[in-house]
Structure 1
Amino acid sequence: MARQPADTKPVLNRLRRAQGQLGAVIAAVENGGSCRDVVIQLAAVSSALDKAGFQIIATAMQKCLDDPDDTTDPMTVEELEKLFMTLA
């Protein structure tokens, strides 16, 4: 089993949380849950996904600052800004 970098653990935790919340949304819709409960859960899913995306971008930005000559995942500042703006 391949080890994940330490900075991926928080992202994976957020994504798993979102996955569980999405499962709750699906179950609520299938079982005729209240509109209020469905919307609240959808907002939670959306927030968790946004936070995971921002965390991924923040990690990439930090990597660029720490080692600007690293070419393993070459991203320009402009590309990072564009990714960031897709989540904003």
Structure 2
Amino acid sequence: MAHLIREKKPLLARIRRIQGQIEALTRALDAETGCADVLMLIASVRGAVNGLMTEVMEDHIRHHVVDPATDPDPERARGAEELIEVLRTYLK
């Protein structure tokens, strides 16, 4: 959890941006905006949340599972990097 505390400021900034996107979605629904525009807002919220999830999961892997930059086992380090890349791709 200490790594989250170190990254607290940028994580909170991301969350505030997501809150702004949610508020825009709420306003769009209140204003009875067209469904295509609402779907675009929902997609942007989903992308922002996935980006936040990717960042936290990557930090979790690096701090609690294996840090590819410092692991002496090259195969294990390569596996961790591959896992991180898969997460980035999947949550894109």
| Same fold by TM-score greater than 0.5 | yes
Deviation track 1:21-40 (CA, whole Å, cap 9, x = no partner) reads 01111111111112222111
Aligned mates of 1:11, 1:37 — CA distance in 2:
27
| Structure 1 consecutive aligned stretches of length 4 or more whose deviation exceeds 6 Å | none
Q: Structure 1 unaligned segments of length 5 or more: list them.
A: 68-76, 78-83
Q: What amino acid sits opposite 1:45 in the alignment?
A: V
**Aligned ranges for residues 33-52 of structure 1 at < 5 Å?**
33-52=33-52
Aligned to 1:8: 8
Aligned length: 71
Aligned to 1:24: 24
Aligned mates of 2:9, 2:58 — CA distance in 1:
14
> Is residue 63 of structure 2 the alignment partner of residue 63 of structure 1?
yes
Aligned to 2:54: 54
Displacement, 1:9? 2.3
Displacement, 1:7? 1.6
- Give the aligned CA root-mean-square deviation in angstroms: 2.7
Which secondary structure does the structure 1 equivalent of 2:7 belong to?
Answer: helix
